[in-house]
Amino acid sequence: MIIKFTFLKSSDYLSDKRIRLVLWLLMALLFLAHLTFLNADPDSLLSLNTRGAWTDEGLYTAQLRDFINHGSFDLYNNNGFIITPVLQIILSPFYYIFGTDIIVGRAVALLFTIGVLFVLSTSNQLRLPALFYLLMVALQFHYFQFCHYSMGEIFAINMLLLSLFALVKFEVYYNHAKKLRWLLLAVFFSFLAYGLKVQFAYVVVLVPAAIMIKAWSVPRKFKNIRKEYYKSFWISVLFTFTLALVYLLAWYLPNRDFYDYIMNYETSERFKSSFSGLIEVYRFNFRHIIWVPELWPLLLIALLAPFGLTVAQFTKFRKGSIPLALIFGLIWMLVEQHKIAMIYLPTRYFLSLIAAAGIVASLSLGLLVKHHVSAIKLILPVVFVMAFLNLTFIYETWKRRTYDIQAVQTYFEKSSLDKNRPVLGIWAYTLAADSKTPTIGIRHNYLNDKDPIRTYNPQLVITEFNQAESDSAWAGQGIDLAAVSDSVRRFKVWRYDLDFYWIKPDINKP
């Protein structure tokens, strides 16, 4: 495909070769931009209603770190492996080779993200949309930050982008023997997205639903093509159920009791019970969390671009069929809407909505340019204005970088921690991650809260001054941390005052 700029002297400014070179250059610059954040704290304005990456980045890899550093694995002292099993499997070889520091996981997340963009750039159908996606989404404030955090959401999103890539290849080879290979890969990548973060279970419908709608969109006169898509739909359903059965037998049933316990806690009271309550929460979240200056331009384009494409290409769609990739993106954006109705909506939960909206916008704009070259005169200025706005938000983030976590880690390096005695507390997962000591979170009526001093014989307990992060697990059991410690140190980390209680070494001796 050659797209010409009629208002430029050269006729091949947007040839596939030029797009590829520009995209690769931008990916390199994007990678360099992220490097300045790898050892910094999570952005202080990123998660206003939750602790977010400050605690969860360490939480989701704590069991893997303990296994690598101490050879012990306890499924029941953390919810991380239940919620993000595939994430820990992916990170395990890198942690074995390069160590269990948080920066290693962050580097893997970043390289994976850049790698997926590179994969998209190899497709003729996705090259220009990938360029738009980089400028509008990869630089978007929320999305940009999480690309260098080692958390399940960004890994899951990248798997869904690979699923989209496989679907595009499947459509290219729909009358070729290779199509089955790409179809199975598309389903498999969607399955991995669910394994990376169990809350993504709903994405299993994306590939079968997209293929079914694709079959419906094919004009009836092309009976053979419709038949092939219907056949592919049933194959995708069969493979989806096969993978679900593997998950059920190999993972869920052997750990059913603990799995159900964790998921009941994690998913309880996430939605209002009444329809009016759902609408009320949806409106509030949309107005105050989603429709914000950092995000609304992208959402607006995601809504307008498909409409403009439909109007501009109405006759072409009547003669042909809707591209499978766009169907996938539209369904993905549609199913993401349920998250906006959540009572508890941390930033990481709507990252996939940002990605889905970005895919819809990028694909729609790419198709407009493909069929109406003159549209580039309007599209490029809009995309570059959005990129400039995104960069202004990133620059502000760069200016307000902090290093509170690094300060605590430096403190630990000077404290001669006993590598065999655990550090307790939700904040310990991240703050003590680089110390190679075991870390165990404490939360009242949930995990590890039964007489933790005697049970775990910790060397240190980290808690907020009011014990809010543990739901007052210590005070609720009448445990006076000051009485069982020989010294206390207070650190200011982000907006929290954290008390570090150094527990007396002989506290559990009779």
How do residues 117-150 score in pLDDT, each as one tens digit? 999 999 999 999 999 999 999 999 999 999 999 9
SS3 of 309, please?
helix
Count CA atoms within 13 Å of residue 24 on its CB side. 8
Report whether pLDDT(240) > 80.
Answer: yes
Are residues 134 and 29 in contact, defined by beta-carbon separation less than 8 angstroms?
no
Report whether pLDDT(6) > 50.
Answer: no
Q: Say what percent of the chain tops pLDDT 90.
A: 76
R_g of the chain, CA atoms, integer Å: 25
How sure is the predictor about 386, in pLDDT bands with cuts at 50, 70 and 90? very high
Domain boundary among the residues 365, 399, 433 is at 399
Instruction: Indicate whether 19 belongs to any domain.
Output: yes
Based on the structure, what is the number of domains in the chain? 2
Specify the length of the chain in residues: 510
Domain boundary among the residues 338, 364, 399 is at 399
Report whether pLDDT(286) > 80.
Answer: yes
Q: Is the pTM of this model over 0.85?
A: yes
Are 284 and 159 in the same domain? yes
Are 374 and 457 in the same domain? no
Q: How far is CA 294 from the centre of its chain?
A: 18
In this predicted structure, what is the pLDDT of residue 1? 37
In this predicted structure, what is the pLDDT of residue 382? 92
Tokens 């069982």 belong to residue: 484
Are 204 and 288 in the same domain? yes
Are 393 and 260 in the same domain? yes
In this predicted structure, what is the pLDDT of residue 220? 79
> Mean of the pLDDT values across residues 229-242?
95
In this predicted structure, what is the pLDDT of residue 390? 96
Report whether pLDDT(510) > 70.
Answer: no
In this predicted structure, what is the pLDDT of residue 326? 94
Are residues 179 and 173 in contact, defined by beta-carbon separation less than 8 angstroms?
yes
Instruction: Indicate whether 371 belongs to any domain.
Output: yes
Give the integer Cα–Cα distance in Å for 101 and 69: 11
> Mean of the pLDDT values across residues 404-430?
93
Report which secondary-structure segment, H or E, holds 485: strand 485-493
Give the list of residues 6+ apart from residue 374 with CB closer than 8 angstroms, or none.
Answer: 6
Are 326 and 415 in the same domain? no
Tokens for 308, please give them: 């403009």
Are 30 and 118 in the same domain? yes
Domain of residue 463, residue span: 404-503
In this predicted structure, what is the pLDDT of residue 13? 53
pLDDT mean across residues, the chain? 90
Tokens for 202, please give them: 């709903």
